[in-house]
Amino acid sequence: MTTLQERIIPTDLGSEMSRSYLEYAMSVIVGRALPDARDGLKPVHRRILYAMHDLGLQPNAPYKKCARVVGEVLGKYHPHGDQSVYDALVRMAQDFSMRDTLIDGHGNFGSVDDDPPAAMRYTECRLRALSREALLTDIDADTVDFSANFDGSEQEPTVLPARLPQLLLNGSAGIAVGMATNIPPHNLGELVDGLVALIEHPELSNTELQRYIPGPDFPTGGQILGNDGIREMYHSGRGSITLRGIAQVETVSAPGRAEKEAIIVTQLPFQVNKAALIERIAELVNDKIIEGISDVRDESDRDGMRVVIELKRDALPQVVVNNLYKQTPLQVNFGANMLALVRREPELLTLRRFLEVFLAFREETLQRRTRYYLRKARERDEIVQGLLVALGNIDSIIALIRQAENIEVARQSLITVYELTVNQANAILDMQIRRLTALESEKVHQEHAELTAKIADLSDILERRERRLELMVQELQELKATFATPRRTEIIASSSGSLHDIDLIANEPCIILVTEQGYIKRMAVDTFSCQSRATRGKAGTTMKADDVVALFCSAQTHNHILFFSDRGVVYALRAFQIPIASRTARGVPLVQLLPITLEEKITSILPVTAFSEDEFIVMLTRGGFIKKTALAAFGNIRANGLIAISLEEDDHLGWVRLAKATDSILIGSRAGMAIRFAVDHKQLRPLGRATRGVRAMELRPGDVLVGMDMISPEDERDILVVTMNGYGKRVPAEEFRIQNRSGMGITSTKFRKKGDLVAGLGLIGTDEEILLVTQRGVIIRQAARDISQQSRMATGVRLQRLDTDDAIAAVAAVPPNLGDEEEEAG
């Protein structure tokens, strides 16, 4: 007898822990968490479907209680909790969880609002036709291996003989030990097309297969933004796919209520809880994170989903929609991880590898099925051949049987005399007398002929791979014709899916104002209603006593604003990045927004919508040098700025305008002189950024430049000339003839009194409005049509009444679309 000490086996603890943990991990990976790449099922799903097949719950059979199915699965195959089995059964019956459901559920099986299903004692189920045809057909034809169940009392299939790649069709999700899988569902028809293409052209790559299988197709519809995530998933097995719900803007009305614009959500991203989404929207509205929403309600019914998000009257629908995409699960990322079991080992699969594994398995099951039916046909033909021998020698066989002492002697005599097999002899002994009729004899001969042809056909299938591939294609096409449905998820190939700050902000007109001491702010255009000519205007900003307005422009909040400094450096911001402020606020220091030094001064601001190839930036220095550079050269301005122009030692950059090659340039001086010359290459050839430019205008002693604008050939606007004492006029552009560059120009206005100077000069249309800004920050907005048209030598009319210590500092035109929007405000 061995002692206890002799029975103890010394073991290294580290090795034992490693081995035990690995065994546990593989048990979870293979036996519970990861699906098989062949039939796409985890053990629990496979056992449920097989148990239902065993119970006879076919699509045309009556429903049975889910509790009956769960009990069958637990008792025979799945030694785990009943709730886990029921949860798996429920998911296979939910049309919002599975692209093509495998179980036909009767009763409450939950909802997209995450409502729980009814208890298993209340719900009923049976198999769907797709499950029978695509997963369980031929399971009794020795197509797959069976193994013993947990107690050895039953046999269960190790895999189902799938005819479709179920793992790609309905997807799968699972967390194992140290690894996880998350495979999106796909469209059945597209999968069949991809499989057929790969069968016919085995050399197809992942990229080429994507022509047939463009991307996932989720049961809840929605949109996939961009192809990059899909391509990455198909090529590497991992990828992030951006999913977006369907939200459209409609006008809704109710009895006794005025019509309102509303965002109608009809489809959600996959696995998004509708009730939780509505609750999240309400929280964001209450916290004022999303503005413009007045009400949210769920109008979904049996006909489909409908979430109504009513908007306030002043809300911009697209901005609210973009905020919903940014802040709520109306847009989510699906992290794909195409991990599955191949030969009972986890493998990260590409699209091509997925299809190859399935086709290899399908060919194997087809071969096994063919061998099974060939064996059955040969066994039957053996019997039929014995019957034919009996029919040919019926009299002598009857005599032999009558002379035999017992059945065993008769069987042995038949085997010996007629060289029959045991099975043939038994068949003859069991043959009924009615088989001796001529009609029955003919049936036996006909059956033998049919069996001979069938055996030849089945043998040919086993011998020739082309036949097997043809059969696979035929069966796939039959499944597609019966079960394929249109794609539900739209793929938006041109969108990246990412939302930036600009997508969440309305593109509205605004005014940007910069003071002499470097303060900047943004204001809405409707801050200043249109006023009559010769009024005093409104205060546009509160300034220090020694500060004045220096720069001023009108733009859209989505515009790029280029800031040109006196050093010839250009900086860039989006208009919405400039803090919005009230009419009387001072604004914020420019140094908080731009990396400028204390000695550097912004001398020109330019709003740009897009950096097109056919436009130029024209720069004019205080010293009279002018340069034309392609706008595209400024499309990527670094955070610390970009050199825009090279300057002489004492020169500074003054004005910047956008121009086309067909335009002409109008430049004005403080003393009332103006010159106009062409922008074309003859007068002004394009130069690079780090160049100085050429002479624009000859100035009299003491005169300085005051402004610059561009005139296009089709331009019908007038030249607006405004003096510092508040007078102005519109002059027809043709009165300023085109000259050669670097001349002295011609007179643009006559002054009312000695010492008066020009404050601004530029183009204006009769349907536009102008904004005048004084040195003390008073702003007036008035219609250009109210300013009379006069000749170059006229003095103009009063535009604004000024205080004795004030003067006009800047002039800007408001485009017609901005002015029309606010016409009622006046």
User: 722 and 607, same structural domain?
Assistant: yes
Percent of the chain predicted with pLDDT > 70: 91
pLDDT of res. 819: 39
Mean pLDDT (whole number) for 14-37: 72
pLDDT at 35: 92
685 and 784 in one domain?
yes
Which pLDDT band holds residue 174 (cuts at 50, 70, 90)?
confident
Task: Examine the domain organization and report whether 607 and 754 are in the same domain.
Answer: yes
What pLDDT does 803 receive?
86
Judge if 475 and 610 occupy the same domain: no
Residues 528 and 590 in one domain: yes
* Percentage of residues of the chain with pLDDT beyond 90: 53
Torsion of CA 217, 222, 228, 232, to 10 degrees: -40
Q: Which of 329, 361, 380 is the last residue of a domain?
A: 329
Per-residue pLDDT at 822: 36
Angstrom distance (rounded) from CA 621 to CA 512: 22
Token readout for 410 is 């008769």
Give the pLDDT of residue 826. 28
Confidence band (pLDDT; 50, 70, 90) for 731? very high
In a domain, 165, yes or no: no
CB 64 within 8 A of CB 55: yes
Are 521 and 447 in the same domain?
no
The one-letter amino acid code at 302 reads R
* Last residue in a domain, options 432, 467, 483: 483
pLDDT digit string, tens, across residues 355-385? 999 999 999 999 999 999 999 999 999 999 9
| Assigned domain for 215 exists | no
Burial, 249: exposed, middle or buried (Cβ in 10 Å; 0-12, 13-18, 19+)? middle
pTM, whole model, 2 decimals? 0.68
Please check whether residue 468 is in contact with residue 363, taking contact to mean a CB–CB distance below 8 angstroms.
yes
Please report where in the chains the tokens 């042809």 appear, as a residue: 453
Per-residue confidence (pLDDT) for residue 530, from 0 to 100: 56
Q: What would the two tokens of residue 121 be?
A: 């004692």
Same domain, 310 and 260: yes
684 and 780 fall within a common domain: yes
Q: How many Cβ atoms are within 10 Å of 346's Cβ, its own excluded? A: 19
Residue 124 inside a domain? The answer is: no
> Could you give the dihedral angle defined by the CA atoms of residues 264, 268, 273 and 277, in that order, rounded to the nearest 10 degrees?
-40
d(CA 741, CA 255): 69
pLDDT band at 623 (very low <50, low <70, confident <90, very high): confident
Picking from 483, 499, 524, the residue at the C-terminal end of a domain is: 483
In Å, how far are 193, 195, 261 from 227, measured between CA atoms?
19, 21, 32
The pLDDT value recorded for residue 548 is: 57
Distance CA 199, CA 420 (A): 45
DSSP labels for 686-740?
Answer: B--TT---EE-----TT--EEEEEEE-TT--PEEEEEETTSEEEEEEGGGS----
CA distances from 174 to 112, 438, 698 (A): 20, 65, 79
Q: What is the mean pLDDT of residues 525-542?
A: 56
C-alpha span between 723 and 703 (Å, rounded): 15
Examine the domain organization and report whether 797 and 674 are in the same domain: yes
Q: Is the pLDDT of residue 429 over 90?
A: no
Question: Is there a domain that residue 202 lies in?
Answer: no
Question: Considering the domain boundaries, does residue 751 fall inside one?
Answer: yes
- Residues 791 and 733 sit within 8 Å (Cβ to Cβ): no
Domain of 455, in residue numbers: 372-483
How is residue 47 annotated by DSSP? Answer: H
- 144 is a domain residue: no
10 Å CB burial of residue 453 (0-12, 13-18, 19+) is: exposed
Local confidence band at 676 (pLDDT 50, 70, 90 cut-offs) = very high
**What CATH number has the domain bearing residue 254?**
3.30.1360.40
Q: Residue 559 falls within a domain, yes or no?
A: yes
**Pick the catalytic residue: 21, 63, 77, 122?**
122
Q: What is the pLDDT of residues 254-313, one digit of tens each?
A: 777 778 889 999 999 999 999 999 999 999 999 988 988 999 999 998 888 999 999 988
| Residues 664 and 767 both lie in one domain | yes
Residues 470-499: what's their mean pLDDT? 87
For residue 165, is pLDDT > 60? Answer: yes
CATH number of residue 465's parent domain: 1.10.268.10
- The Cα–Cα gap between 263 and 321 comes to 7
Q: Enter the tokens of residue 406.
A: 């017992």
> Using one digit for the tens of pLDDT, what is the confidence trace for 751-780?
988 878 888 888 888 888 888 888 888 888
Lowest-confidence segment of 245-249, 544-548, 672-676, 761-765 by average pLDDT: 544-548
Tokens of 315: 């809300």
How many domains is the chain partitioned into structurally? 3
- Domain assignment present for residue 632? The answer is yes
Q: What average pLDDT score do residues 27-36 get?
A: 74
User: Could you give the angle at which helices 351-392 and 228-236 cross, rounded to 10 degrees?
Assistant: 60
Read off the pLDDT band of 613 (50, 70, 90).
confident
479 and 511 assigned to the same domain: no
Q: Domain with 802 in it: what CATH number? A: 2.120.10.90
The pLDDT score that the predictor gives to residue 212 is: 95
Handedness of CA 547, 552, 555, 561 (dihedral sign): negative
Per residue in 522-533, pLDDT (tens digit) is 888 766 555 555
122 is catalytic: yes
CA distances to 219, 381, 432, 600 from 443, in Å: 52, 13, 14, 108
Lowest-confidence segment of 28-42, 149-163, 410-424 by average pLDDT = 28-42
Residues 651 and 732 in one domain: yes
For position 28, what pLDDT does the model report?
A: 64
| Residue 535 clears pLDDT 60, i.e. is over it | no
- CB within 8 A of 631, min separation 6: which ones? 608, 611, 612, 613, 615, 616, 617, 658
